[in-house]
Structure 1
């Protein structure tokens, strides 16, 4: 277990701890008690008050958010930020009610997949002219595109994290005579069967339609070269090119290499940590859980990109999700709100580094300057031995998570689940096609996609 190191960086007093628990990037973080956070002290006389809602994350992440709010408030007297932490399972209801009543927070956390729709409908305020060019130019190009719509930036990002990394037990591989990770899905099936025994299953993948819907985006890219809807969102595209993916799930389930659902969500790595699996697909965030809760296991764990269907390297096998800050489209104080975002996320590198330290570098900074500072830290690989592979072999080839309505993704998740449970693959894809067609009609998606 790593020690807790209290540091003061860029005016932020924060605990940088390796003992963290899981927070998924693409799903809704687990809820906790709501209520106040940083900025609870009275605002200075004459200061503009900015309301900030933050989704509830891990204790370490919550502490960083509270610290950054307090540090910002202490740094000047013109803007006072008041933080509220909202449980993940209450977020949609509370935000919808607040927006309907006209009292939505000025600033809030937002996942990348929701940015385009928020920009298109006016729910988000454009930030391009409210945050300085230096902060924008520091972003990696692909992530800047993820926070932009129609040539304008609508969010400033804190982190990205790939949705799919292959974690595998090197000791069990050695016992089974397997060298290195599988390179193709055919090999993944073979390895999973070889590693399965009376006490260990070969592979843990997402196990229900909801998790399959988003955790397989990278695999869908890889097997078909596209996602299951046309670029302009006018037609379903759940073609038979997806058949090898559904067939792989079906074959491994029938072989007993992947078991019936264990009741845990895809982002939870605890059953792998407990020794129930020889391989596991999970996001980069799972590293923090393994390092914190299973330190004795880590020396026997390695990571690799998920295999590709043709065995090639440098291909998409994961999507990038993560979190950003946005300004509400009806905020009465957009300049003040944006000044906080720029200071907190786009300003001094030393303000942001504690976040990545606290999460044991299991998340990736989209800022070039922050990524460089992390790479120069002498203890990164000691703290997180998985970091280099994830940074160099997975992140550069990951695609942004899709921005179409989740029902499109859910149609594919349900098709994969059905195939896994024995439904004919062609039938499962046909049912997905019809569900996507209905979603296109119901949500009037035709012609609204990025390729229109």
Structure 2
């Protein structure tokens, strides 16, 4: 059966006017700065620190530039130099800087911090960020912030990485209930069977992940949903992918592929929303951030978009179908100005909630704050009433979502490769699983994973 209105967080968004959207996109950029970063005063030499962040969406980039300006204006002892690095050049530029011992003092970090901590790349935040600020990080974000009892990162946000969006007009035209998303994979197949005959050339029922690398990170929640565990034993001593759950998950994607419910050539990237915005798909699977693109580039779709959790396995073993991605701020282990870096980090994202509220408002409430005070302040913003998807993401998807895995990327990629090969008919499930097992065993041995496994 289809998920109920309450369960799915039905948001046909019929009350959302274009004027309100414009206000959300352009407004709430001021935010009263907090107190001086150094507590006031200070007449010594100015300490200059370097801050690097990736190129994000325009609204995010504007916030990053603005928060640096506000910090520099709020005190006179520390000067932050802001550098925006193109996302496709980030890895190469950061690795080169780290190799040369010239990494920025503070920078943004995505994914697990475990490898960076093992490599000695991150400075402890304990001691350079106040205990009060560290304690404000909600439990759901602690696993991405610390190793053991030591904090190495301060999260700015978390994002649901697998969310289902649907075009209510296209579902209505096919006689499919658009007041809620499909609760299970069986419901999804039933909906696609009804939708497919109503589509024009170049349109499809759904645009999900479709390649090994994207499967590797975007389906982690689904893997847990089908199995109650991920691809590695909890003690990291052996793979745990040879299960009926993994076989069924692969078979489901193969059915989407074989029946033509999904395009054979991607119409847009998983992280993008162009295919959905141009009405080429009835369902789109992406992260919660996609709503930001719809609001900025396809405003007419806001009143025709439903948002809910990705469908669950018919006999689910785990409660979630999504992980929570994240972007955190970290301090480089070799920074010569770690205390100044800690003051900048704390003032900007761990201090006055007013400093970060504009970030969440201007990205259209598609991201989840990691501090309760910030969640409350964002929810109280006047524009929140015009963004009902915020409640869906924050209250219905994020609470059950699991953190991204902390094991090496190569483990996830082995799973993603298996999923793509089965989906496209290049391999049987048994053969794909055997290949993945061999690849994971190699990673376990080469990187001595049992010695690095989480102790709790």
| Match of residue 169 from structure 2 | 171
Displacement of 1:6: 6.2
In the superposition, relative to structure 1, how do residues 348 and 230 fare at CA in structure 2: closer, same or farther (>3 Å)? same
- Within 2, Cα distance between the matches of 1:450 and 1:264? 36
| Match of residue 30 from structure 2 | 8
RMSD: 2.0
**Residue 363 of structure 1 pairs with residue 385 of structure 2:** no
**Count of matched residue pairs:** 420
| Match of residue 70 from structure 1 | 69
- Within 2, Cα distance between the matches of 1:390 and 1:59? 22
| Match of residue 222 from structure 2 | 219
Report the 3-state secondary structure (helix = DSSP H, G, I; strand = E; otherwise coil) of the residue aligned with 2:310.
coil
Displacement of 1:190: 2.0
- Within 2, Cα distance between the matches of 1:320 and 1:280? 18
8 A contact 2:231–2:240 mirrored in 1 = yes
- Within 2, Cα distance between the matches of 1:82 and 1:223? 46
| Match of residue 232 from structure 2 | 229
- Within 2, Cα distance between the matches of 1:192 and 1:443? 43
For residues 135-150 of structure 1, the aligned pairs below 5 Å read 135-150=133-148
Displacement of 1:310: 3.3
The range that moved more, 263-272 or 338-347, is 263-272
**Cα deviations by residue, 1:218-261 (Å, 9 ceiling, x for unpaired):** 10010011111112222111122211100000111111111202
TM-score of the superposed pair, with normalisation by structure 2:
0.88
For residues 331-346 of structure 1, the aligned pairs below 5 Å read 331-346=335-350
- Within 1, Cα distance between the matches of 2:194 and 2:408? 39
Report the 3-state secondary structure (helix = DSSP H, G, I; strand = E; otherwise coil) of the residue aligned with 2:333.
coil
Specify every segment of 5 or more residues in structure 2 that has no aligned partner in the other structure, as ranges: 1-17, 35-42
Displacement of 1:88: 1.7
| Match of residue 132 from structure 1 | 130
| Match of residue 6 from structure 2 | none
8 A contact 2:226–2:315 mirrored in 1 = no
In the superposition, relative to structure 1, how do residues 237 and 409 fare at CA in structure 2: closer, same or farther (>3 Å)? same
8 A contact 2:226–2:246 mirrored in 1 = yes
8 A contact 1:211–1:265 mirrored in 2 = no
8 A contact 2:226–2:318 mirrored in 1 = no
| Match of residue 440 from structure 1 | 444
Displacement of 1:312: 6.6
**Cα deviations by residue, 1:95-139 (Å, 9 ceiling, x for unpaired):** 2222222221111111131x1222222210110222112212222
| Match of residue 401 from structure 1 | 404
TM-score of the superposed pair, with normalisation by structure 1:
0.89
Q: In structure 1, which of residues 280, 284, 288 is the aligned counterpart of residue 288 of structure 2?
A: 284
| Match of residue 158 from structure 1 | 156
For residues 258-337 of structure 1, the aligned pairs below 5 Å read 258-262=262-266, 264-310=268-314, 315-337=319-341
8 A contact 1:136–1:144 mirrored in 2 = no
- Within 2, Cα distance between the matches of 1:6 and 1:307? 34
In the superposition, relative to structure 1, how do residues 365 and 6 fare at CA in structure 2: closer, same or farther (>3 Å)? closer
**Residue 204 of structure 1 pairs with residue 226 of structure 2:** no
- Within 2, Cα distance between the matches of 1:410 and 1:265? 17
8 A contact 1:172–1:278 mirrored in 2 = yes
Report the 3-state secondary structure (helix = DSSP H, G, I; strand = E; otherwise coil) of the residue aligned with 2:450.
coil
In the superposition, relative to structure 1, how do residues 442 and 261 fare at CA in structure 2: closer, same or farther (>3 Å)? farther
**Residue 253 of structure 1 pairs with residue 267 of structure 2:** no
Q: In structure 2, which of residues 442, 449, 453 is the aligned counterpart of residue 449 of structure 1?
A: 453
| Match of residue 421 from structure 1 | 424
- Within 1, Cα distance between the matches of 2:335 and 2:64? 21
Displacement of 1:170: 2.0
8 A contact 2:224–2:317 mirrored in 1 = no
Report the 3-state secondary structure (helix = DSSP H, G, I; strand = E; otherwise coil) of the residue aligned with 2:103.
coil
8 A contact 2:228–2:317 mirrored in 1 = no
In the superposition, relative to structure 1, how do residues 154 and 254 fare at CA in structure 2: closer, same or farther (>3 Å)? same
Report the 3-state secondary structure (helix = DSSP H, G, I; strand = E; otherwise coil) of the residue aligned with 2:356.
helix
Displacement of 1:392: 1.2
